[in-house]
Amino acid sequence: VNVQPLSGAPANNAVYTAFLTPGDTILGMSLLHGGHLTHGSSVNRSGMLYDAQHYTVDLKTERLDYDAILEKAMATKPKIIVAGYSSYPWVPDWQKFREIADSVGALLLTDVSHIAGLIAAGQIPSPIGIAHIVTFTTHKTLIGARGACIITDNAAYAKKIDKAVFPGEQGGPHINTMAALALTFKMAQSESFKELQGQILKNAVAFADQLQKRGLRVPYDGTDTHIALLDCKSVKAKDGAYLSGDMGARILDIAGIVANSNTIPGDHSAFSSTGVRFGTTWLTQRGLKEGECRQIADIIADLFEATTPYNMPGRRSPLRRAKVDFSALEDAKLRVKELAKQAEILIPVETKHGYPHYYDIEDNKDEPWASFKLSGDQIRLFLTYTLTSDIEALSEGESQATLIHTTKGDVRGFITCQDPFTFILTAPGEKAGLASAWLRDLSDAYIKFDEDLLMRVPGPMQIEDTQTLEPEILEGDPISQQKPYYIGIDEDQNQGKPLPKFEWEQETGPELLKTPLNQTHKDIGAKMVPFAGWDMPVWYSSVLEEHQAVRQAAGLFDVTHMGVYQAEGPDAGPFLDSVCGNDISSLEKGESCYTHFLDQDANVIDDLLVYRRDKQKFLVVVNASNDEKDWGWLNKVRNGEVRVDNQRPWTFAFGQNVILRNLRDRAAGDDMRVDIAIQGPRSRDILLKLESSLTDQEAIKALAWAQLCEVSLNGIDLVISRTGYTGERLGFELFVHPDKAVALWHALLDKGEPLGLKPCGLGARDSLRTEAGLPLYGHEMGGMLNLGVGQAGFGSFVKTYKPWFIGRQAFLDQEEKRDGEVIRFTFDEKRTRMAHLGDPIVDERGKVVGTVTSCAINSEGSLTGQAYVGEKYTKEDTALYIFQGAPEKAGKAPAELTKGDRVTLPARATVTTRFPK
């Protein structure tokens, strides 16, 4: 017996070290079916060092199939077979496992960590004397200190194991742990311990049986150990969406029932488990018996009956989420609290629970009023959604009457602003529990507050009891007539005069605008062309050469013509969350995201990037072609001059107090910024060659994708973000004062040209983004086809879980009707003509199925492009036929063709992955 292992993993690894060499085969149960990480999981050392093979349960019976295990052992010839599990609830047949091991000359290792206490108490069969080696932990059903043991009845094996533990696996012994283990083993010999273990079994069986009686599926069809599982797929919505194990465990945790999500047979990944695992050890230690365990099963069943699973759009696959009825959740909390009180009577313990861990609807106050301190980075947005009043109108120290609509009635009170991110809510003492539980549950994001299940408010927020503020006599309506959304808004009869829709006509000046680098481009021989009202370089050498430079080394781009704004102040986040589809307020300082401006009909005004420079400072970078339109839109929205909501056309967007600054305007002074981009695999090396401090160099090196930092290079202050428009994962955008743009450009070329850096024009910028599958406004979004964000293939960047933003409902309606999406294609033949925006696409039968949106040369010299096609034609390897540069005039009818006539034929192209692999 070796009692030195610190836990189960070191114990099992010591056995492997003693008897295996890297590459040897072990056979253990699949983690997905109930096995353990240390039984050969690919993410564990046991699966990395050894040839890990796995057996499973029979999917029909969900029990171990010993004939199938024997067959697997015969085929794989393992040196060690592992029996014993972390979530399989039935006791294995140890003798059959020994027979299988003997038949292939393998050692049988039984890991009984989870059931060691039941074995010690004689409640279930023991593998001692059957298995070659037994490992177990002492802190699960043995109810002792954290540790582990290894047992073998073979003296030669024992010597190998001792050596593998020390010095092979760990250093000196933990004498304190050994002393605790000795006491654990002493206690395990007592009659009370044996009775406890027997009750653990009875409780597990009663719990599992009651779950089944309530219509919930119990994987493996029961238990004869302390473990019971629940199949969350038995909780389904009307549309077939089912509860995930993760969501199930989270909702139970909020209710006060602690369990963990777990894979069950049929699951394909531990990251998408559909089971929840329960154990009855601790409940039994608290004195609960079969009746109480059935009550717990009833609480779970009632809670899940009131839970509605739903699928939320994700970037690659739907995200499984769930909402639970507020009343049902609070009822479950109260029932759990009563059971806990019963346990306290049986075994007196000092209670140390309360907010933020546990709270409920009965937390009322005896006083007339109760106050709560509400704070958090997104507290302004949280309160905007949850209160009927306009908290943006409050200055520090000011209060206003307000109202909270809950699903169990309204709560009237008043809200006081302590500082921009801290508020005090005061409510009647008799409704303090309702108000606090409602807001806290909303903050946790698991309760249903609208028929639209996608909605959730920002969270978590801190909602703490605080010293009661004396109530004030506050005049004015607690309901804001100008808010486009708050929870329960449909209950209030708000109305007003509709605002006009936003209209914009682009004004073209008589002369082309020039960037700060205009003369620099001309000096090095750039080919200049008009673009979006600017005189811009289209190429310096050739599009293909510049394209290849970016893919192989680095390219330098003048994008100083792009619009650069800054949103500032406490309401900068709420304002940007009103005008952008993505979740702006959730950005941490130093993070950025891609997003869109939508109008009230979900038409794309522009696509853009938002960078969070500080808590109250966001950089907003828009397309040059839409700069004036975007600036006009943002200001009209802020000023309440245009319609932002079709359902309530008189309302204003949130964040009316935001400060908007145009950083390309000379009025911005030292804060002025324009954008220069350096893209490609050598781009970081080039940046680091410029003069900078070690701190700034480390900041640049540490940047992950979409992160930003503020540094100084060659004495020039810069905001540097690891973003770009070329598809390169290593690329940067440098926001520099326009007066320093030329100096920065020359410095980068001076240090970068030896590393392959080349200046690049608009031609390469377009070919690179087309090859990368990135959209261009006017082509893949908006423009002549008026494609929406979802049609462009970027719907996952529109976060419909936000309760309100401009165009939200229209976007959802648009997505429900959408029957196509932008794809990327490559022409099958290299020697073919360029396709252009608007060129028609047909299928193999000649049916028009789509339209080209972009086309350019790629890194291999082929023509690649993007096109909007019907849903049926979006799959990879689908054949498309494109009429490049299709003539507007109709040709002759086939019957009129004569020898020598020419007809237009389409070129064959193939759908590729939307983004290069």
The phi, psi pair for 546, rounded to 5°, reads: -70, -35
Going by pLDDT thresholds of 50, 70 and 90, the confidence category of residue 894 is confident
CATH number at residue 841: 2.40.30.110
Alpha-carbon gap, residue 822 to 780, rounded angstroms: 7
In a domain, residue 813? The reply is no
In a domain, 198, yes or no: no
- 371-407: pLDDT as tens digits: 999 999 999 999 999 999 999 999 999 999 999 999 9
Q: What pLDDT does 423 receive?
A: 99
Taking the model in full, what pTM does it have? 0.92
What per-residue confidence (pLDDT) applies to 547?
98
State the DSSP string of 480-519: -SS-S--TTGGGS----PPPPPP---PPPPSS-B--TTHH
In whole angstroms, give the CA distance from residue 235 to residue 690.
59
Domain co-membership, 525 together with 637:
yes
**Per-residue model confidence (pLDDT) at position 93:** 98
- CA dist 822 and 470 (Å) reads 59
Same domain? For 322 and 455 the reply is no
Q: What is the CATH number of the domain that holds 462?
A: 3.30.70.1400
Residues 418 and 546 grouped into a single domain: no
Are 91 and 14 contained in the same domain? Answer: yes
Residue 563 pLDDT > 90, yes or no? yes
pLDDT recorded at residue 887:
61
Q: Which domain holds residue 89?
A: 8-188
Please say if the pLDDT value at position 641 is more than 70: yes
* 408 and 338 together in one domain: no
Judge if 50 and 100 occupy the same domain.
yes
If phi > 0 it is left, if psi is from -120 to 50 it is alpha, else beta; for residue 424 that is beta
Average pLDDT over residues 748-773: 98
Higher-confidence residue of 355 and 478: namely 478
Look up the CATH number of the domain holding residue 238: 3.90.1150.10
Say if residue 182 is in the same domain as residue 223. no
Mean pLDDT value of segment 18-26: 98
Pair 462, 504 in one domain: no
Q: What is the pLDDT of residue 314?
A: 81
Find, among 209, 231, 408, 204, the residue nearest to 298 by Cα: 209
Using CB atoms within 10 Å of the CB of residue 829, give its burial: 0 to 12 exposed, 13 to 18 middle, 19+ buried.
exposed
Taking only the tens place, the pLDDT of each residue in 796-818 is 999 999 999 999 999 999 999 99
pLDDT number for residue 889: 60
Question: What integer is the mean pLDDT of 532-541?
Answer: 96
pLDDT digits (tens, 9 = 90+) for 23-50: 999 999 999 999 999 999 999 999 999 9
Judged by DSSP in three states, 353 sits in coil
Indicate which CATH number applies to the domain containing 562.
3.30.1360.120
Over residues 734-762, the mean pLDDT reads 98
Measure the CA–CA gap between 346 and 198, rounded to whole angstroms: 18
Using CA atoms, how far residue 159 sits from 109, 154, 164, 173, in Å, is 16, 9, 9, 17
pLDDT score, position 890: 60
Q: Does residue 349 register a pLDDT over 80?
A: no
Q: Identify the CATH number of the domain in which residue 136 sits.
A: 3.40.640.10
In this model, does residue 886 exceed pLDDT 70?
A: no
d(CA 804, CA 483): 10
Across 540-568, average pLDDT: 98
Domain count, the chain: 5
Structure confidence at residue 725 as a pLDDT band (50, 70, 90): very high
Average pLDDT, the chain: 96
Lowest-confidence range among 170-174, 175-179, 450-454, 653-657? 170-174
Last residue of a domain, one of 468, 488, 508: 488
Using the predicted structure, report yes or no on whether residue 475 has a pLDDT greater than 80: no
| Residue 897: predicted pLDDT | 85
Alpha helices in 269-428, H assignment, sequence order = 281-285, 290-305, 326-346, 379-386
Cα–Cα distance for residue pair 875/430, rounded to 1 Å:
59
Same domain for 223 and 150: no
Same-domain pairing of 378 and 297 = no
Give the pLDDT mean for 284-308. Answer: 97
Residue range 394-440, pLDDT digits in tens: 999 999 999 999 999 999 999 999 999 999 999 999 999 999 999 99
If asked whether residues 460 and 513 sit together in one domain, one would say no
Distances in whole angstroms, Cα of residue 640 to Cα of each of 224, 662, 730, 871: 66, 19, 41, 39
In a domain, 143, yes or no: yes
Does residue 69 register a pLDDT over 80? yes
Q: Around Cβ 518, how many Cβ atoms within 10 Å? A: 21
CB distance 109 to 83 below 8 Å: yes
Task: pLDDT band for 355, please (50, 70, 90 cuts).
Answer: confident
Other C-beta atoms closer than 10 Å to the C-beta of 875 total 9
323 and 440 Cβ atoms separated by less than 8 Å: no
Nearest to 114 by CA among 130, 145, 132, 135: 135
Q: Residues 154-186: pLDDT tens digits?
A: 999 999 999 999 999 998 889 999 999 999 999
**Residue 520 domain flag:** yes
Give residue 449's identity as a one-letter amino acid code.
F
User: DSSP 3-state assignment of 352?
Assistant: coil
Look at residue 474 in the predicted model and tell me its pLDDT. Answer: 74
Query: Is 808 part of a structural domain of the chain?
Result: no
Residues 722 and 682 in one domain: yes
Task: Tell me if 355 is assigned to some domain.
Answer: no
